[in-house]
Amino acid sequence: MRQKIFTNALFVLIAGGIAAGWWYVDKTYFPKPAPKVPEPSRPAREAIEALAGAVVGQSFPALEWPATRVDLKADDAAKEPPKDKPKPVEPPKVTPRLDPELVAIGDESFATQALLTTQGGSVQQLTLNHFDEANRLGLEVKQADGKPQPLRLIPGVIRPRDKTSLKIEAPFPTLVPGKVTEIDTRARLSEPSYVVLHYPSDDDPERGVGGEGPDDKTPSTKLRDAMWTMVERQAPTDGGPHKVVFETELGAPYFLKLRKTFTLAPRDYHVGFELRIEPLPGRTKGKGKFRYQIAGARGLPVEGEWYTQIYRNVMIGWTNRSGSGAKRTIEDALTINTKHGGDRVDRGENQFAYAAVASQYFTSAIAIDDDQPADARLGAWDYVRPTREPGGWEDPNQLFLADVTVRAVSKLMDVGDKAEDAVVHKYLIYNGPLKVRLLKQLGQQHGRDETVDPALVDRYLDNLSLRTLTDYHSPNFFGRLANAIWWSDIVITFTNLMHGVLGGLHSTGLPWGVCIMLLTVCVRLILVFPSRKQQATMARMQEKMAKMKPEMDKLQEKYKDDPQALQQEKTKLMFKHGVNPLSTMSGCLLLFAQMPVFMGLYFCLQESVFFRLQPFLWFQNLAAPDMLVWWTESIPWVSTPDNMGGTTYLGPFLNILPILSVTLIFIQQKLTMPPPTDEQQEMQQKMMKFMVLFMAVFFYKVPSGLCLYFICSTAWALAERKLIPKAKSAPAADAVEPTPGGPAAPNAPAAGTAAPTGGGGFMGKLRAKLEEMQQQADNQATRQIRNDDGNGAPRNPIRNDRDKKKKRKR
């Protein structure tokens, strides 16, 4: 049987290798010709050129078309009589777009600074000055002067992703305040973030008919494309908050003025955003009902594409009407792009809290301001939905890298015709770490004060419910189950505790790598006593099981065809030798008690924004693999960029830390694993060894900070096993067997009773109760025992001589 399994496995491996080799040879040495793209006709070409020039602007360069192919029937066509030339298609008359103007809010001394744009009165670019930027490889980005580049959380420019190499970065033009007149810069501007669009009312002539044009499901882009007027700007130099105000108007049938106010304070990680809707002369109540949509952040950067497991996610949070019971939903970029849009979340009986687009460490979220009337907060949004934002260069095989955003839609509003009927909705646009509570750990860094007001952080966490961005259970069945039994809350508590301990260690001036090692040592010191107790319990268990092995073998041979009887006899034998089946469970309970600590430490290392771009030893980024050696991007299935996201993709670097981690785990497993007592245990141990090899693949791209934890923890366990004396098991009275015919051993149990296991407390009482139940079961089994003659006949003979006609007494 084993030979057959080995032969089949060998056949599958050889067949797979042949198929893979042929695929590589066919792709490398026999490339397929590029498909021929039909050239558009001259009238269509002229129309496209005219339309492109009208939409982008008069200064946009003409499109370059490939040379016309040679017509093989040109001579025959020349002999035919000339035909009337068709009239060229007239290009649509489109008013040339005006150049947008970029307006700065905040500066380099602020925690956050942004460039607003008059196009749509929205956010073009947003930068976090206290955090540095990482590229596609996970390495630090430098400015021209060699200084670290502050993180551009909302880039504001189009950056097509190169599919051939991770080393190739799309150009990043520098945006400065003022009119955008340069052709190249204008062409690279992306669609702004936090734009407002509106849905046409029933009496709007622009409303689409027959499924074409804007309607109740498709908003009009008029407000997004319009150039809003900047009517106010405040930029005090004494450290006060900055303020920018934009205005625009909607004509018939709405007759509304829209006013956007943006504010930003030096230490804030949010931009205040107020939308005011005022009636204009000519406004009639009941006509031109207004509903708007706010589109979220666009183009959040994905750092370390080749190793990260988290790309872009959309999170939507809400509470009940009283503001408690915060909940949230999450969808990733792959799901959103595969379904051509995420699931719509309706308000129902609740009220929305925020809508966010997030990467692994940072987020840009629009939250409903808590500092406004309850009615305004409750009725701001009717529903929210994640949407895909295609840029035209996405790879259909790597949709997890495609862009996404979130769109919040207000309820339908019938604004009155008086000035006091104006509608005001207030929002906060939070931009910062996904783990919001980490803002409290910012302090004196890089020679500057980065402290954030703790009251402001508490407002983010509690009033705006941004705590649930990270401190929430998974959206699957297991996450809901863990939340129901309070397991999620326990793990979250330990995770936050680990964040606090790490921050306290780093505040002493220690590097983050040393802090990880010290935290690991602290955790192992806390768990040393439970660990030693578990080892002693397992040692006693193994010792007693070794003594029982001959008798166990006899039972297995005797009851090999009766599993139920075998299990019953095994249990009796274990009680006879003072081995309680619950003793194995005690070890599991100790391991279960340690899990919140280890899981909290794991999530802490995964969430901490402070490990980004922090060097230690030879690795440059504690939040990325150690990247010891560049082994190119040309290894088939292993490092080629088109295989990114596949099971066999390991990336373009040789990482030594995961290999060292798995090697230590294998050594620990080899030293701690007891010798197998049967074939089943031998097979299980072989499977465990194969699992270590799979771990080497799964752990290959984990952050170096996490590998550092695994190495320190495993090395501690090995040192503890070798250096600390093993706990000696107490001599068991039941281990002394009486000599046949001789006197009973001291403290020997009476015949027919289970050996006492000793021990007080809950576990001792539980063992005693279990022994009592087992004794009762044994007594009952003794009364109903059957013969062992192999024919299944009962011990009592069948009474065929009984007079069946004799009536029984009643």
pLDDT in tens, 160-179: 888 888 888 888 888 999 99
Signed CA dihedral, 301, 305, 307, 308: sign only? positive
Joined together, the tokens standing for residue 592 give: 């279960």
State the pLDDT at residue 775. 66
Region for 84 from its dihedrals, namely left if φ exceeds 0, alpha if ψ lies in -120 to 50, beta otherwise: beta
Residue 781 has pLDDT above 90, yes or no: no
Instruction: Please tell me the distance from the alpha carbon of residue 192 to that of residue 653, in angstroms, as a whole number.
Output: 36
Residue 305's contacts (CB-CB under 8 Å, 6 or more residues apart) are: 136, 166, 401, 644
pLDDT in tens, 232-251: 999 998 888 999 999 999 99
Give me the half-sphere count of Cα atoms (radius 13 Å) on the Cβ side of residue 562: 11
Instruction: Please tell me the distance from the alpha carbon of residue 769 to that of residue 581, in angstroms, as a whole number.
Output: 13
Determine the 3-state secondary structure of 181 from DSSP. coil
Burial 486-503 (b: 16+ CB within 10 A, else e): ebbeebbebbbebbebbb
pLDDT in tens, 6-17: 455 555 566 666
State the pLDDT at residue 90. 52
Q: Which of 468, 472, 720, 499 is nearest to 602 (CA)?
A: 499
Q: How confident is the model at residue 358 (pLDDT cuts 50, 70, 90)?
A: very high
DSSP output for 199-211 = PPPTT-TTS-BTT
State the pLDDT at residue 786. 46
Residue 578 has pLDDT above 80, yes or no: no
pLDDT in tens, 365-387: 999 999 888 888 887 899 999 99
Side chain identity, residue 775: Q
Joined together, the tokens standing for residue 112 give: 């956050």
With a pLDDT cut of 70, the percent of the chain lying above it is 73
Helix (H) and strand (E) counts in the chain: 18, 23
Joined together, the tokens standing for residue 30 give: 């026999």
The reply to whether omega before 253 is within 30° of 0 (cis) is yes
Determine whether 225 is exposed, middle or buried from the number of CB atoms within 10 Å of its CB (0-12, 13-18, 19+): middle
Q: Are 315 and 454 in contact (CB under 8 A)?
A: no
Give me the half-sphere count of Cα atoms (radius 13 Å) on the Cβ side of residue 495: 21
CA 365 distance to own-chain centroid: 16
State the pLDDT at residue 692. 77
Instruction: Please tell me the distance from the alpha carbon of residue 341 to that of residue 333, in angstroms, as a whole number.
Output: 9
Burial 165-177 (b: 16+ CB within 10 A, else e): ebeeeeeebebee
* Neighbour count for residue 807 (Cβ, 10 Å): 6
pTM of the model as a whole: 0.75
Q: Which of 443, 763, 737 is nearest to 610 (CA)?
A: 443
